[in-house]
A and B are shown apart, each in its own frame.
Chain A
Amino acid sequence: MDKENARAHRKACLHITLALLAVWFFISFGCSILLRDWLDASLPSVGHAPFGFWMAQQGSIIGFVLILVAYAFLMNRLDNKHGYTYTKDK
């Protein structure tokens, strides 16, 4: 039972991790480097900055912070679901 629970938790955790890493790859390497020229030309600019340039200098960094917030939220929810609690004292 214990082992099964742990395995299920680990699998779900891996899914969250991979999904977030896909987002991470897309906003950094994808938008800001590989697809940059295409995005600059075809998406509306952010303020006066071309989209790809904006992603490279500001957007991706904001995105990274949001990814970590999502990670903390999703993982804490997952831990609760699988009954992993944390002691209040030390």
Chain B
Amino acid sequence: MTQDTLNFIFIGLSFALYIGIAFRSKAGSTTEYYTAGGGVSPFANGMATAADWMSAATFISMAGTVAITGYDASRFLMGWTGGFVLLTVLMVPYLRKFNKATVPDFIGDRYYSKLARGVAVGCAIFICMTYIMGQMRGVGVVFSQLFGISITSGVIIGGTIVFFYAGLGGMKGITYTQVAQYCVMAFAYAIPAIFIAMALTGNVVPQLGLIGNYTAGGELVPFLEKINNINTELGFSAYTSGKMSTLNMFCITAALMCGTAGLPHVIVRFFTVKDVRAVRKSACWTLAFIAVIYLTAPTIGAFARVNLIEKLHNTPYSEVPAWFQEFEETGQMAWVDKNDDGKIQYFGPAKSAAGTFAVFQGKAPEYPTFEATPDQLTGKYGERLLANKADDSNPNELWFGNDIMVMANPHMAGLPMWVIALLMAGCIAAALSTAAGLLLVLSTSISHDLMKKIIKPDLSDNEEVNYARFASFVALAVAVYFGINPPSQFIAKTVAFAFGLAASSFFPTLLMGIFSSRMNKQGAICGMLAGILFTFGYITYFQFLGGTPDQYLFGITPEGIGFVGMLINFAVAFGVSAFTPCPPEHITEMVENIHIPSASAAARESD
């Protein structure tokens, strides 16, 4: 059986499963559509939330980032798990008690203002849209690699599938589908890690292997010492020590954590369970399931780095393993023979006088067009040639994308073909589950908060669901369009946007709404606007308008500026509210009410 057939079988089976589940749990009413009727078990919701959280980018690129930056990548590991602590102890139990369908709904009611609701809807749409674009692109890339179709058709196929089960099934449909998707993802992630841990460290548990001994080289060396030695020998900084400044590391971790706690598509997940007690339990399950994957990612990164360097560094091109050529073909690895010795060399910045280690000029490899002559396409050792000029200021010859670590891992370790097929299925599951969750938030923000609460208050239940379906179709069409024509580097950069905006808008506004009964609409709106404008402006200036790193405020990169934006939001909100009238009495009462944990009958009926 060939690899392609196996891929088809694994992905086909997983799709049949997802669509079967979605079909069985089709939503009938708005509450089923928005929050699955509020009756999902904490365990199932935990799994579904974890699947929702693990996007294609996290699934594929996170381990690669860890492999390349070592300690510095801990900011992602901690930021994207630690945020759930904030989310659970500060947000979701209270928002669940409030018992509304969406996050802008809470902001609109708590701050008794259509303007506040409108700003919140705008933020929700922007955050979800940036995310979903990346997911559609991810699905398209995987499909095109698998089936040899163009990325365009890949994106369209992915979009159609997502529309069918998210647009039609609503929250109920996607929750149960995501449970299945989490299982696929967890297996796809853990199985290669276990195999490789056994091969490199003789330990079945990858997490213990990472802090254990490296056994594959004959004599026993601590694994982390091994990887530190490799790094320093080749001119990189040691794996376990970071390069980033402490302040910057602090700000980025904080922005990612607060952003996580303010992401609307994660918050609404907890509206699907029965009551406040179930929310707490569900949050434990969610973080436990996420932790399984986040504890595995650093091991995959470290193992893959050792494997990659051992297999490729100083290896003559004529002897490289077959997978290297496969990745050259797809443009994910490249070799430029700068010293013309026919061997691949991989060096870090400390090996060159200029302190660089770029293989070629430009950010991504470019290839000669189809009209090029054969000697422009293939070099004398049979390698694929680049159109980029070589960067001769350093001796590094090997280029690979961040995404390659997870995908190439099973190849490098020589694992059986079904593991690779499982990995492909897992990757698609990650992209689809996140896209579906985001799509739902997008469509409900439009149908519920924009149409029903702001534009057309007399909308019936049935019409509202239809609007939601229609909105999800439109949102998906836009996402598919940007998936096919990504605004070049835009998608990668906008991740900073999504977290920065969530941290500087939703997180502080929700927090003050829950814990301060004095906070009024003037304060909240001014705070939100100040936080967003500052963060948006800072990121735009440095990402798109050509700001240079020496202009950074206290050396904080755009990734971490959301934290500063958040502080500004708090400061402005408290400042403005001190000089403006108190919120009306029923709001103060409402705030007191959301702190009483048991579901009161009166609040449910008034819905």
List the interface of chain A (C-beta within 8 A of B): 6, 9-10, 13, 17, 20-21, 24, 28-29, 32-34, 40, 46-50, 53-54, 56-58, 60-62, 64-65, 67-69, 71-72, 75-76, 79, 84-87, 90
Report the minimal beta-carbon distance from B601 to chain A, rounded to whole angstroms: 9
**Which residues of chain A have C-beta atoms less than 8 A from B276's C-beta?**
86
Chain A residues closer than 8 Å to B291, beta-carbon distance: 61-62, 64-65
| Nearest neighbor of B82 in chain A, beta-carbon distance | A28
CB-CB under 8 A for A58 and B295, given A71-B88, A79-B277? yes
- With A28-B253, A84-B598 known as contacts, the answer to whether A17 contacts B90 (CB < 8 A) is yes
Q: Are A64 and B77 in contact (CB under 8 A)?
A: no
Question: Which residues from chain B contact A34 at a C-beta distance below 8 Å?
Answer: 246, 250
Using CB atoms, name the residue of chain B closest to A5: B596
Closest chain A CB from B379 CB (angstroms)? 39
Given contacts A72-B283, A72-B284, contact A33 B246 (CB under 8 A): yes
- Cβ contact within 8 Å between A57 and B298: yes
Give CA–CA (A66, B311) in the complex, Å. Answer: 39
Tell me which residues across on chain A come within 8 A of B592, comparing CB atoms.
Answer: 6
A35–B219 CA distance with the chains assembled, in angstroms:
34
User: Given contacts A33-B253, A64-B85, are A56 and B77 in contact (CB under 8 A)?
Assistant: yes
Q: Are A79 and B597 in contact (CB under 8 A)?
A: yes
- B 192-216 contacts with A by CB, 8 A: 207-208, 210-213
Q: How far is the CB of A10 from chain B (nearest CB, A)?
A: 5
Stretch at the interface among B220-228, B445-453, B501-509: B220-228
Contact indicator A48/B223 (Cβ below 8 Å):
yes
User: Given that A34-B250, A48-B225, A86-B598 are known contacts, is A53 also in contact with B71, CB under 8 Å in the complex?
Assistant: yes
A residues near B595, Cβ cutoff 8 Å = 6, 9-10, 13
With A6-B592, A6-B595 already in contact, 20 other A-B pairs whose C-beta atoms are closer than 8 Å: A9-B597, A17-B89, A17-B90, A28-B82, A28-B253, A29-B254, A33-B253, A47-B208, A53-B71, A53-B240, A57-B77, A57-B210, A57-B298, A61-B78, A62-B291, A68-B283, A71-B280, A72-B284, A86-B274, A86-B599
CA of A72 to CA of B240 in the docked complex: distance in angstroms?
Answer: 34
User: Closest Cβ of chain B: how far from A28's Cβ, in Å?
Assistant: 5
CA distance A20 to B280 in the complex (A): 14
- Residues A9 and B210 in contact, CB atoms below 8 Å apart: no
Q: Which of B238-260 contact A (CB under 8 A)?
A: 240, 246, 249-250, 253-254, 257
B597 pairs with A49, CB closer than 8 A: no
Partner of A48 from the list B78, B89, B212, B298 (CB cut-off 8 Å) is B212
Which label, helix, strand, loop or mixed, suits the secondary structure of the A interface? helix
Chain B residue contacts of A53, Cβ below 8 A:
71, 224, 240
B213 touches A60 (CB 8 A): no
Interface string of B558-601 (1 = CB under 8 A from A): 00000000000000000000000000000000001001111100
Which residues of chain A come closer than 8 Å to B249, judged between CB atoms? 33
Partner of B82, one of A57, A60, A84: A60
Q: How many residues of chain B get a CB closer than 8 Å to chain A's CBs? A: 53
Contact call B598/A71, Cβ cutoff below 8 A = no
Contact among B77, B78, B211, B598 for A79, CB-based, below 8 A: B598
The answer to whether B39 has its CB under 8 Å from any CB of chain A is yes
**Whose C-beta in chain B lies nearest to the C-beta of A47?**
B211
Which 10 A-B residue pairs are closest in the complex by CB-CB distance? A47-B211, A48-B222, A56-B74, A72-B280, A84-B598, A49-B211, A53-B240, A57-B298, A68-B284, A10-B595
Residue from A6, A21, A49 within 8 A of B224 (CB atoms) = A49
Contacts of A40 in B (CB 8 A): 240
Q: A65-B287, A86-B599 are in contact. Are A20 and B224 (CB under 8 A)?
A: no
Q: Are A68 and B253 in contact (CB under 8 A)?
A: no
Contacts of A17 in B (CB 8 A): 89-90
**Contact sample, A vs B, 13 pairs, CB 8 Å cutoff:** A6-B595, A9-B595, A33-B246, A47-B211, A48-B225, A49-B224, A56-B74, A56-B77, A58-B295, A61-B294, A72-B280, A86-B277, A90-B274
Write out the residue numbers on chain A whose beta carbons fall within 8 Å of the beta carbon of B288. Answer: 65
Docked-complex contact A33 and B250, CB < 8 angstroms? yes
Contact B211 A48 (CB under 8 A): yes
- CB neighbours of B100 from chain A (8 A): none
Q: How far is the CA of A24 from the CA of B291 in the complex (A)?
A: 15
Q: Judge if B396 is at the interface, Cβ distance under 8 Å.
A: no
